[in-house]
Structure 1
């Protein structure tokens, strides 16, 4: 059963018709999943598998695979969902070593691994998409016993390492997600308290208190990570919110864009909170007088670095999705800018267009919670 959504989507409140909104979503799906090879980001592999290609790096990432599964379940495309999940389980699932039970974050399109290390943003999206798949379509035989796959994965994410067998993906002392399991810092864009709220309902009963605490901890953390004037978050940060400049990731760059989108989706699903509006309003004010062709890599205090933004369309999309946490003329302006922006073309299209499609779903009222079947 679908969660009740707003009577009118954000797009409809701005005067766009339901028909043109639905057409826009369908056309974007067609381009990304069924379009020409130089426009799509999803590719079939053999008779029953498929992958999401990072067209800028020519690899397959758990980020993209989990995103593709979330897009597929939202669009009611079980065929695509199952293809992506089977490819993921076939090539990315780790069965040996300290990361056994997690997924290799990067593979070649032929399935060869670039790494035997995981990235927790993939695991949290896999779990959420799997729960939604179970609730929308029902469980089948492994690996399509979606709900069990989700519960087992979440249990590993928080309990791994208790027997000296590796590292958990959430720091047990503070309930905050890690950048990678064997580190002591985080990535603000990985924090999805709206997912953890649902994990607290559907994970194994003994794990549910952890996820409720994780939701609260991430909502407390995010205001600390976002700059008090600009609202911008770094790509990496310490658990107290201070930027972590490891490998030059302490500024506002590609990962950071997702913070605004995450705040918007949390507001859509669980109601607006003051800190969300505060952060988004600051971000919107910061970008109000900037043209997308002049977007840059920024320090979180707003100082522009010489490098241009690598994913300007993705930044337009996430700023628009953040509007779900606030209101007013500036938010509306940035949503209209997104509406008027086409999907990105070229070899960097993957990340931009993933963020673009999620913003389309959210602002059209079609990024939904799927509850268990009654």
Structure 2
């Protein structure tokens, strides 16, 4: 087995964990192509992408019948990774036209969800969309070059990141990152965070490509997020809460629900840590953490995944997204070196895309894990 001693950012080499467990390269490439085809152009009970008119398209949250910045920015990242410019441009044109605010306290942020026809359902933004939009746009600039507005990708990314850090300096609105702690917020107005929003591997790249005066902030934000995740993840189970305070402790129940526990948002933490380790290898704690969370789930059947307290006590409530959770546990194998690493890679490979009403979130995480574990989730 070939070992890459430093992260992919430095070596430009990406591990292929499927190949490492003996899966032929042609089978891996075939699976990637098949999953793209099914999610973007497949049967009605699997696909999540829909063209709109001559120059737009959207990703639908099939469980809620709406369009979210999470899914739109995810779709753009999928498209740029697979060199699919038409779908990328359609998604970006939809988001830019219908979801991005042009004025007011949310100027240059995106309304977090809307109807498939572009009608906004609520104005507030969700910062995980903004950070994925910006990263996908920078990658698009590198892969395809910048075109006329709104396809001047790099400048569009800078506009988003500028707002994320400086909104409110004129007295209207709030930034998406807390200036004091350099931690991403759950929403611009909130005094707490969401551990699954923390993408230090993106911030390292923002530190190279954002406005020059902000690059030092992004570099420090990457370090701050890595430190934060150490406190947000339980030291024995590896589980993290949906929402957490800036000190990493679970946030108090909110008007819209109690999010102190390990549930759907929190699944992404394992995947994010795995990809950060693959790209930068900046924190060896990520190896221990990935081993811990895989060990917790090793003897639990996927069909029995459920909501848990962060110290590991199960609720009666089953997981809404078991395939998504499995995908992130497999993606943790990018950092893990324990006895469960191969198990989760193989189990994921043997698991098909989810079908039915709740498929959107699971299959987005599925596709990212498929790309990452095959060495195809790359920096451009």
TM-score of the superposition, structure 1-length normalised? 0.97
Alignment partner of 2:93 out of 64, 86, 94: 86
- 2:189 corresponds to: 182
Pairs within 5 Å for 1:151-190: 151-190=158-197
Give me the whole-angstrom Cα distance separating, in 1, the residues matched to 2:285 and 2:352: 31
DSSP 3-state at the match of 1:176: coil
- 1:327 corresponds to: 337
DSSP 3-state at the match of 1:114: strand
- 2:4 corresponds to: none
For 1:314-351, what per-residue CA distance to the aligned partner results, in whole angstroms no more than 9, with x for missing partners?
00000000110122431110111100000000000000
Alignment partner of 1:230 out of 233, 237, 249: 237
- 2:348 corresponds to: 338
Return structure 1 stretches of 4+ with deviation > 2 angstroms.
Answer: 2-8
Pairs within 5 Å for 1:55-204: 55-204=62-211
Give me the whole-angstrom Cα distance separating, in 2, the residues matched to 1:273 and 1:334: 22
- CA-CA distance at 1:273 after TM superposition: 2.5
Give me the whole-angstrom Cα distance separating, in 2, the residues matched to 1:273 and 1:166: 34
Give me the whole-angstrom Cα distance separating, in 2, the residues matched to 1:92 and 1:218: 27
Alignment partner of 1:297 out of 295, 307, 310: 307
Task: State the number of aligned residues.
Answer: 369
DSSP 3-state at the match of 1:305: strand
The answer to whether the Cα contact below 8 Å between 1:5 and 1:365 also exists between their aligned partners in 2 is no
Give me the whole-angstrom Cα distance separating, in 2, the residues matched to 1:336 and 1:93: 40
Give me the whole-angstrom Cα distance separating, in 2, the residues matched to 1:152 and 1:23: 37
- CA-CA distance at 1:271 after TM superposition: 2.0
DSSP 3-state at the match of 1:329: coil
- 1:31 corresponds to: 38
Give me the whole-angstrom Cα distance separating, in 2, the residues matched to 1:119 and 1:61: 9
Alignment partner of 2:289 out of 262, 279, 293: 279
The answer to whether the Cα contact below 8 Å between 1:50 and 1:84 also exists between their aligned partners in 2 is yes
Give me the whole-angstrom Cα distance separating, in 1, the residues matched to 2:104 and 2:158: 21
* Structure 1, gaps ≥5 residues long: none
For 1:112-139, what per-residue CA distance to the aligned partner results, in whole angstroms no more than 9, with x for missing partners?
1111000000000000000000000000
Give me the whole-angstrom Cα distance separating, in 1, the residues matched to 2:284 and 2:77: 28
- CA-CA distance at 1:97 after TM superposition: 2.4
- 1:221 corresponds to: 228
Give me the whole-angstrom Cα distance separating, in 1, the residues matched to 2:288 and 2:79: 32
Alignment partner of 2:277 out of 244, 267, 272: 267
* Structure 2, gaps ≥5 residues long: 1-7
The answer to whether the Cα contact below 8 Å between 2:46 and 2:356 also exists between their aligned partners in 1 is yes
DSSP 3-state at the match of 1:27: helix
- CA-CA distance at 1:8 after TM superposition: 4.8
The answer to whether the Cα contact below 8 Å between 2:14 and 2:278 also exists between their aligned partners in 1 is no
